[in-house]
Amino acid sequence: MPVATYEQYCQMLNRAKNEHFAFPAINITSTSTANAAIKAFADMKSDGIIQVSTGGGKFASGQGVNDMVVGAISLAQHVHLVAEHYDICIALHTDHCHPQYVDSFLRPLIEESRKRKAKGEKTLFNSHMYDGSELPLEENIKVSKELLKECAELEIILEIETGVVGGEEDGVCNEDVPSDKLYTSKEEMVQIAKELRPIGRYMYAATFGNVHGVYKPGNVKLRPEILKDGQHATTEALGVEASHDLVFHGGSGSNLSDIHETLDYGVIKMNIDTDTQYAYTRPVVDHMMKNYDQVLKVEMEVGNKKKYDPRAWMKAAENSMTARIGQAVKDLRAEGRTILK
């Protein structure tokens, strides 16, 4: 199935919200990690979301090019081609674009989609994230409205964030954020719906104690009731139809009970990156340690080409990442829920 159309993406999100499940959104940095993600969704008979960050795009373009836009386009084109060979829907998304990268990352990708639409083709990405959470709320909303208008004209969904996700991801560190910033207020949630909903469809990463990075179970103190209260305040003020499509960032180390609770409050997308990075790397370490004398030409020997061929350990890495994504699909109750059934 080709990458989802706008109508199919909306159908995916609507179904997730109505049936209280969420899609894992998997960050990719290479064709190998993209292949692992697509196969995982197909294995689980689930639709899914694949996303590219600024850092992921830059890496994918190669060290000689080092261009986040080129890399993001390359990865997206690969997913468009490969997804056609599977019978589930894949949506393409870009992750955390901070204000300093709007003109050098987000807008060039929107322009690429505009060119494709002019030729009668689908947009390159189905949705983009603008993360203006570091800005004062009014400035964040102002830029979000401008970008949503551009996206809505092309049938692209915009994801935005208020509050701050703690921890570190993709080179952005929020380790010393004041605790009150980790929790989006219900007043903010009402204001976001009031300002953005008339312009176009959006997703909303409201924060409720989320933290990017690696933490032992129990170390991340989530307060899902923040989402419940914010949704209630929004629908009380603006009607049931104004209820947000919520996004869960920074879920590593979260208790499964907390994750499931958020699904009842409108979370329809959960970002997965840290756990899949480890899942990809762990079997590579295992391969190298077990085959040390064969992947290296030591003591005048020639090694073993079958062991140092990158395909040998990359296949293991892909399989491990695929399995971890499969677990995420189950955890988010998305197994078997493709709209193509």
DSSP string, 268-308: EEEEE-HHHHHHHHHHHHHHHHHTHHHHS--TT----HHHH
- The sheet with strand 172-174 has its strands ordered as 172-174, 166-169, 211-212
Q: How many residues does the chain have?
A: 341
Report helix, strand or coil for 155.
Answer: coil
pLDDT (0 to 100) of residue 173: 43
C-alpha–C-alpha distance, residues 270 and 328, integer Å: 9
- Residue 305 domain-assigned (yes or no): no
Q: Are strands 157-162 and 202-206 parallel, antiparallel or unpaired?
A: parallel
Mind listing the pLDDT tens digit for each residue in 108-166? 999 999 999 999 999 999 999 999 999 999 999 999 999 999 999 999 999 999 986 54
pLDDT (0 to 100) of residue 166: 45
- In the 8-state DSSP scheme, what is residue 135? S
- Residue 68 domain-assigned (yes or no): yes
Report helix, strand or coil for 211.
Answer: strand
C-alpha–C-alpha distance, residues 127 and 104, integer Å: 17
- Residue 306 domain-assigned (yes or no): no
- Residue 61 domain-assigned (yes or no): yes
C-alpha count within 13 angstroms, C-beta hemisphere, residue 209: 16
Q: Taking a C-beta distance cutoff of 8 angstroms, is the pair 183, 207 a contact?
A: yes
C-alpha count within 13 angstroms, C-beta hemisphere, residue 8: 19
Spatial CA neighbour of 256 closest among 297, 291, 224: 224
C-alpha–C-alpha distance, residues 5 and 235, integer Å: 28
Strand partners, 174: 167
- In the 8-state DSSP scheme, what is residue 183? B
The answer for residues whose C-beta is within 8 angstroms of residue 44's C-beta and 6 or more apart is 325, 326, 329, 330, 334, 335, 336
- Residue 296 domain-assigned (yes or no): no
pLDDT (0 to 100) of residue 56: 98
pTM (2 d.p.): 0.92
pLDDT (0 to 100) of residue 102: 98
- Residue 303 domain-assigned (yes or no): no
- Residue 337 domain-assigned (yes or no): no
Q: Which residues of the chain fall short of a pLDDT of 70?
A: 164-181, 211-220, 252-253
Mind listing the pLDDT tens digit for each residue in 224-235? 999 999 999 999
pLDDT (0 to 100) of residue 150: 98
pLDDT (0 to 100) of residue 179: 56
pLDDT (0 to 100) of residue 76: 98
pLDDT (0 to 100) of residue 254: 77
C-alpha–C-alpha distance, residues 171 and 185, integer Å: 26
- Residue 100 domain-assigned (yes or no): yes
Give the range of the structural domain holding residue 112, as residue numbers without chain letter: 6-279+324-331
Q: CATH code at 41?
A: 3.20.20.70
Where in the sequence numbering do the catalytic residues fall? 95
Domain count, the chain: 1
